[in-house]
Amino acid sequence: MTWGSESNRERPVVVGVRFDQGMLAQLHKVHKRFVLTQPNGVRARLRQCDLSGLDFSCMHFADAEMSGCNFGGANLRKAVFRRADIFCANFDNADLSECDFARADLRGARFDRANLTDTLLPGADLREGVILAEKMALDERNGSQFSSALLRGTNMAGSRLKLANFSRAILEGANFADADLRGARFHGAALVDVNLRGARLLGADLRAALLRGRGLDHVRLGGAYVNRPALPPRALEHHVAEHARWVSSGGTEGRRADLAGHDLMGSDLSGANLAAAKLDVSLLVAARLRGTLLIAAKLANANLYGADLRGADLRGADLRNANLREARLDGVKIGELPGTRLATVLPIETELPLTRHRLDR
């Protein structure tokens, strides 16, 4: 495939091609000439091409068009994509540290499990977008995806992030000043020393998110969904006791525990009977749940970061999209609940951080 030309005129869009490293190097060579307005420069114009696993480190693709392309697992460290059109691209598992996406069109892009340490995204458009067959269109239901991504020192000041999904992401020292975060989701995320000054947070879902550090003290969270306040120890004990009565009586006495959306961080619920309890989108960071009976419990989107679940019974429990990073899971029971059709629902395997602990059936 030949990229050079005798002029800087536009070339047709390359569609659906799998690139290797040599082809990428040639593409970069002629695009850089285009950026520098040198002879034989050609603007890179790709659509739905496979660029996965390639090394883009320090390459310069400002003003390029790479919409719908797959950058999965690629090394884009210190690469430049200023003002580039990268609509609906896939950056899952990619290294984007120190990459420059200032004012880039990244609508509908995916960054699940990507490393965005010190990445520059000021003024970038990260709103909703979707590819339908060979066409690209706006999707008013889903924004860009950052599930389980690392955003340490990431600059998103002034970025358009409406409906973006940051579930289970680590956001440490990230800058969202004046960003549009309306309807964004942060279930199970850790926001530490994050700058949210001037950010638009109407409808943002911060339930089960850990909010700590500088930059959050004076942020107005009005209009955002946040965790219900922490319960005093005696009130929590009362809920647990009433729930145990409800379980043992078959629902005729006591009351089912509804702790959904509550701040339960660091709570000691070891050995408690919380079978079928409602704990969706609850904040259970560093909670002690050793030997706790959680059969058929509702834990979808809960934040169990660093929780001690050793020996807990999770048969039939719903942990869909829960954050289990650094959780202690030795000896937990999972699987089908005898006499029912219920089985444990875990976060999808690619997002489940169990490199050091094993789930025993």
- The domain spans of the chain are 1-226, 229-361
Q: Which residue has the higher pLDDT, 220 or 285?
A: 285
| pLDDT tens-digit series, residues 41-99 | 999 999 999 999 999 999 999 999 999 999 999 999 999 999 999 999 999 999 999 99
- Residue 62 has which token pair? 């400002």
DSSP output for 236-255: HHHHHHHHHHHHHTTTSSS-
The C-alpha atoms of residue 214 and residue 223 are separated, in whole angstroms, by 21
Average pLDDT score, the chain: 90
Contact criterion met (CB below 8 Å) for 139 and 118: no
How far apart are the C-alpha atoms of 70 and 241, rounded to whole Å?
Answer: 52
CATH classification number, 229-361, choose in 3.90.220.20, 1.10.10.10, 2.160.20.80, 3.40.710.10: 2.160.20.80
**What's at 186, amino acid-wise?**
F
CA distance readout (Å), 151 to 112, 118, 120, 155, 230: 11, 7, 11, 9, 27
Dig out the tokens for 278 from the structure: 């409602």
Output the pTM of the full model: 0.88
Taken as a whole, the chain contains a residue count of 361
Task: Please spell the DSSP secondary structure of 299-335, one letter per residue.
Answer: -TT-B-TT-B-TT-B-TT-B-TT-B-TT-B-TT-B-S
The model's confidence at residue 221, banded by pLDDT at 50, 70 and 90, is confident
CATH number of 1-226: 2.160.20
Q: How far is CA 19 from CA 36, 53, 65, 92, 200, in A?
A: 24, 10, 15, 17, 39
Which tens digits make up the pLDDT trace of 267-281? 999 999 999 999 999
